[in-house]
């Protein structure tokens, strides 16, 4: 037992001794490298860099919007009555002018028959009054009364015919009709919602632009959009712009219209919108990791004569990995991209280009 213990302790001692020897050797090597990198009494920091070259860059805004139907109406009757017939299928397509429902019109037709009879009598009385007036058998006033009664009876017919026309409800435009809220035999009034009729052959896209970019919004310009759950991109054309900026949000409302013949865009859903701003022929893009936030904005380090020098920059749009630099660097500059957090202005650096 003691022999095994002694052997175990010896093995541990050998392991510890090997580890100490490895650390001493490594430290000596690092000291040698560090001594070789000393320039003017200062140590060169190892960093990575990138030579900036101008390339085309399309700037854009990523916005959220909502999709609306091209046309939508709540079908309601203009008069009260009993539903006699329903001539559409829920969720089906209907054409402009197609009859949707009929309201019982028996009472109105009886009133029309009565009005026609009164009109015939009033017309005959007016004809007789005219003959009597010519023979000076009645006064002008009596003739005027008879003539007015005739015109009133005629107008009454027109009123009843208009009421009869309202007993037939037709589709004002082609589209898809929704779920109905009535049944045959229901008593409906002008406040009753029969169903919604929606036209989605084209859809409208409503979104808002920050006031900073309102000068770039033009009618007939195109935008790109897509919806959640779909990778398909759609194109819409701006056709209407609100004339004033909303004071509460400092944004300008804009409407665009898109073709939806495939019925892939559903009204009421959110849309991810790409609004194009401008295309820069030689944009200067730097990796996002090269930017260092400071109190007055952002800075980067540039390589000049083997040293790192600070440069305040103005940034623009960004991609997943890069940021557009509007001012502060020039094409051909070497930007230090990583290992820069510990640098100071004028620090000597050893740069590996990527």
pTM of the shown model: 0.64
Helix ranges (H only) for the chain are: 2-36, 106-134, 140-165
* Residue 308 CB neighbours (<10 A): 24
**What domains does the chain contain, in order, with CATH numbers?**
40-57+282-353 (2.40.420.20), 61-70+199-277 (2.40.30.170), 77-103+167-193 (2.40.50.100), 105-165 (1.10.287.470)
Q: How far is CA 108 from CA 63, 111, 158, 241, 282, in A?
A: 55, 5, 12, 47, 76
Mean pLDDT by 10 residues, the chain (354 residues): 60 63 55 46 77 85 93 95 95 95 95 93 91 88 91 94 95 95 95 95 95 90 89 92 93 95 92 87 88 87 89 85 88 87 85 84
Terminal alpha carbon distance of the chain: 60
- pLDDT given for residue 56 in this prediction: 86
- pLDDT given for residue 193 in this prediction: 95
Q: What tokens does 69 get?
A: 């139907």
- pLDDT given for residue 57 in this prediction: 83
- pLDDT given for residue 106 in this prediction: 94
- pLDDT given for residue 78 in this prediction: 95
Half-sphere exposure of 298 (CA within 13 A, CB side): 18
Name residues whose C-beta falls within 8 Å of residue 80's C-beta, 6 or more positions apart in sequence: 187, 188, 189, 190
Length of the chain: 354
3-state secondary structure of 11: helix
């Amino acid at each position: 037992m003691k022999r095994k213990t002694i052997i175990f302790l010896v093995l541990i001692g050998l392991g510890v001794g090997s580890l100490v020897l490895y650390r001493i050797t490594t430290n000596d090597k690092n000291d040698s490298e560090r001594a070789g990198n000393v320039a003017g009494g200062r140590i060169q920091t190892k960093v990575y860099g990138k030579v900036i070259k101008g390339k085309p860059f399309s700037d854009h805004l990523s916005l959220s919007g909502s999709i609306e139907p091209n046309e939508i109406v709540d079908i309601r009757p203009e008069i009260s009555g009993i539903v006699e017939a329903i001539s559409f299928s829920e969720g089906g397509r209907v054409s402009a002018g197609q009859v949707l429902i009929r309201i019982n019109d028996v009472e109105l037709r009886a009133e029309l028959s009565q009005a026609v009879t009164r009109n015939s009598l009033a017309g005959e009385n007016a004809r007789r009054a005219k003959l009597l007036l010519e023979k000076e058998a009645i006064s002008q006033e009596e003739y005027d009364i008879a003539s007015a009664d005739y015109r009133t009876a005629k107008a009454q017919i027109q009123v009843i015919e208009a009421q009869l026309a309202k007993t037939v409800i037709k589709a004002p435009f082609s589209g898809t009709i929704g779920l109905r809220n009535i049944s045959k035999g229901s008593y409906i009034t002008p406040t009753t919602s029969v169903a919604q009729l929606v036209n989605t052959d084209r859809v409208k896209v409503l979104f808002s632009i920050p006031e900073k970019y309102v000068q770039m919004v033009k009618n007939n310009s195109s935008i790109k959009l897509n919806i959640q759950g779909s990778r398909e991109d759609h194109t819409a054309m701006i056709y209407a712009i609100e004339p004033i900026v909303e004071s509460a949000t400092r944004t300008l409302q804009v409407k665009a219209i898109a073709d939806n013949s495939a019925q892939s865009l559903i009204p009421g859903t959110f849309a991810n919108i790409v609004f194009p701003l401008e295309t820069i022929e030689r944009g200067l893009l730097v990796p996002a990791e090269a930017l260092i936030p400071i109190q007055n904005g952002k800075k980067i380090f540039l390589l000049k004569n083997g040293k790192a020098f600070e440069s305040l920059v103005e940034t623009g749009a960004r991609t997943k990995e890069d940021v557009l630099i509007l001012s502060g660097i020039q094409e051909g500059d070497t930007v230090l991209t990583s290992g820069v957090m510990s640098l100071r202005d004028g620090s000597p650096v050893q740069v590996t280009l990527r």
